[in-house]
């Protein structure tokens, strides 16, 4: 199978890019040829090491002329390589695919089937309000089939015009061999001045950007340490709001209890430091970081938005709280630390990932959809 993925954003750090790394690796090992069209980013070499073939196409175009340019380049590449499945990863790249392959005359046929090239879109999350309102209708018109990562996204797109029979939900999976329960290393504990026997460690792994809500997490943590003085908060990641979030931490007098690690690629080793993972976002679809933490055997606190209730089994693997509600978030952090509830929750979280969110069933599910069209 020759499969071409289309990404709107550069191949840098992000959930969609992480999915591409996993799919490229596993599908390539199965003998398929996997191409990823995007623009260059910091994870490009890692993509190549996983077996993915990079194609430099920019789907973050502006205007009709930009869409024509990328559309013509896409058609040329499809013919040149004999692509059998086209897999856009966004509404925007789906529109470009439809324009290029359906609206413009295109005689190309897939050799194995003698039929036109199928467009099979995967929707990870939709934040653009226009796509949210009209996305269902657009996808119903522009794609042959849609794979959703969460029921949340599928339900809201069906409400805006997508036919029920034209889609399914396949949860993106976690590498349970990479993310697994492990002991914290002495090296990292020493580096961050932590003691697992003394400190109760809460943490977040997320880009420091507006939608991740770090300010609510810091304000809630500043309340928590009044009753839990040995609590510590580990903030893993970088982003445009790093300076602003650090300034708020100092303003709240949290310099001794909040640790900023910056961007880290050894996420699993940092998760091993946590007692519980806290996601403080104000906008989420189907949070990858929370599922990685669960695979690592960590209890999760997450906002009651988007697909988070599909991830967290409340009262068994963690807690949900009202997004942007500092008081509610504080209470949930207190609850999870009480009597070390995070231990049993973490064990349940690992079992939940193995049952519902494993990488094996994800890759097999996607591959079956693609193979059905061949």
DSSP conformation letters of 11-60: SSSSHHHHHHHHHHHHHHHTT-EEEEEE---TTHHHHHHTT-EEEE----
Structure tokens that stand for 238 in this block: 């970088």
CA nearest neighbour of 271 among 154, 161, 350: 350
Structural domain count, the chain: 2
Residue 311 lies in a domain: yes
Sign of CA dihedral 237, 233, 274, 312: negative
Structure tokens that stand for 193 in this block: 């001045």
Residue 342 lies in a domain: yes
For residue 62, give every residue at least 6 positions away whose Cβ sits within 8 Å of its Cβ, in sequence order, or none.
none
In the structure, what pLDDT confidence band is assigned to residue 125 with cuts at 50, 70 and 90? confident
Q: Give CA–CA dist 223/162, Å, rounded.
A: 45
CATH code for position 257? 3.40.50.2000
Give the pLDDT confidence score for residue 110 in this predicted structure.
97
Residues in the chain: 374
194 and 314 in a common domain: yes
Share of the chain above pLDDT 90, in %: 91
219 and 144 in a common domain: no
Residue 181 lies in a domain: no
Helix or strand or coil: residue 275? coil
pLDDT of 310-333, one tens digit each?
999 999 999 999 999 999 999 999
pLDDT of 263-291, one tens digit each?
998 999 999 999 999 999 999 989 999 99
Residue 103 lies in a domain: yes
* N-terminal to C-terminal alpha carbon distance within the chain: 8
Rg for the chain (alpha carbons), in Å? 22
336 and 193 in a common domain: yes
pLDDT of 195-253, one tens digit each?
999 999 999 999 999 999 999 999 999 999 999 999 999 999 999 999 999 999 999 99
129 pLDDT more than 80: no
pLDDT of 58-74, one tens digit each?
998 888 999 999 999 99
Give the pLDDT confidence score for residue 133 in this predicted structure.
81
Angle between the N-to-C axes of helices 242-251 and 214-224, in degrees from 0 to 180, rounded to the nearest 10: 20
4 pLDDT more than 80: yes
Helix or strand or coil: residue 203? strand
By residue range, what is the domain housing residue 203?
A: 186-356
In the structure, what pLDDT confidence band is assigned to residue 131 with cuts at 50, 70 and 90? low
166 pLDDT more than 90: yes
pLDDT of 18-32, one tens digit each?
899 999 999 999 999
Structure tokens that stand for 112 in this block: 């194995």
In the structure, what pLDDT confidence band is assigned to residue 127 with cuts at 50, 70 and 90? confident
264 and 296 in a common domain: yes
50 and 19 in a common domain: yes
Q: In which element (H, E) is residue 216 found? A: helix 214-224
For residue 329, give every residue at least 6 positions away whose Cβ sits within 8 Å of its Cβ, in sequence order, or none.
216, 217, 220, 278, 280, 301, 321
| pTM for the predicted model, two decimal places | 0.83
Residue 174 contacts residue 357 (beta carbons within 8 Å): yes
Q: φ and ψ at 15, to 5 degrees?
A: -65, -45
Residue 140 lies in a domain: yes
């Amino acid at each position: 199978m020759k499969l071409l993925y289309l990404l709107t954003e550069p191949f840098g750090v992000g959930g969609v890019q992480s999915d591409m790394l996993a799919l490229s690796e596993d599908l390539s090992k199965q003998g398929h040829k996997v191409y990823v069209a995007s623009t260059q980013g910091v994870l490009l070499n890692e993509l190549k090491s996983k077996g993915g073939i990079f194609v430099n196409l920019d789907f973050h175009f502006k205007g009709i002329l930009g869409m024509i340019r990328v559309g013509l380049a896409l058609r040329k590449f499809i013919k040149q390589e004999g692509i059998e499945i086209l897999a856009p990863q966004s509404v925007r790249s789906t529109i470009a695919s439809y324009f290029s392959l359906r609206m413009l005359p295109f005689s190309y046929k897939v050799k194995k089937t003698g039929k036109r090239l199928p467009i099979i879109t995967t929707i990870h999350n939709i934040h653009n309000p226009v796509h949210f309102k009209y996305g269902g209708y657009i996808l119903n018109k522009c794609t042959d089939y849609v794979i959703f990562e969460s029921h949340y996204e599928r339900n809201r797109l069906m409400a805006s015009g997508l036919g029920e029979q034209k889609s399914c939900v396949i949860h993106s999976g976690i590498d349970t061999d990479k993310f697994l329960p492990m002991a914290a290393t002495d090296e990292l504990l020493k580096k961050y001045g932590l003691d697992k026997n003394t400190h109760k460690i809460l943490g977040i792994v997320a880009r420091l950007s507006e939608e991740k809500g770090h300010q609510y997490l810091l304000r809630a943590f500043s309340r928590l340490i009044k009753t839990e003085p040995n609590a510590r908060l580990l903030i893993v990641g970088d982003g445009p709001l790093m300076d602003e979030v650090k300034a708020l931490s100092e303003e709240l007098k949290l310099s001794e209890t909040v640790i900023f690690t910056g961007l880290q690629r050894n996420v699993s080793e940092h998760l091993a430091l946590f007692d519980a993972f806290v996601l403080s976002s104000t906008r989420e679809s189907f949070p990858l970081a929370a599922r990685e933490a669960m695979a690592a055997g960590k209890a999760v606190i997450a906002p009651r938005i988007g697909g988070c209730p599909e991830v967290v089994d409340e009262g068994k693997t963690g807690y949900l709280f009202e997004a942007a509600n500092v008081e509610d978030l504080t209470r949930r952090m207190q609850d999870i630390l009480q009597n070390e509830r995070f231990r049993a929750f973490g064990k349940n979280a690992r079992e939940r990932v193995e049952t519902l969110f494993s990488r094996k069933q994800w890759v097999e599910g996607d591959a079956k959809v693609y193979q059905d069209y061949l």
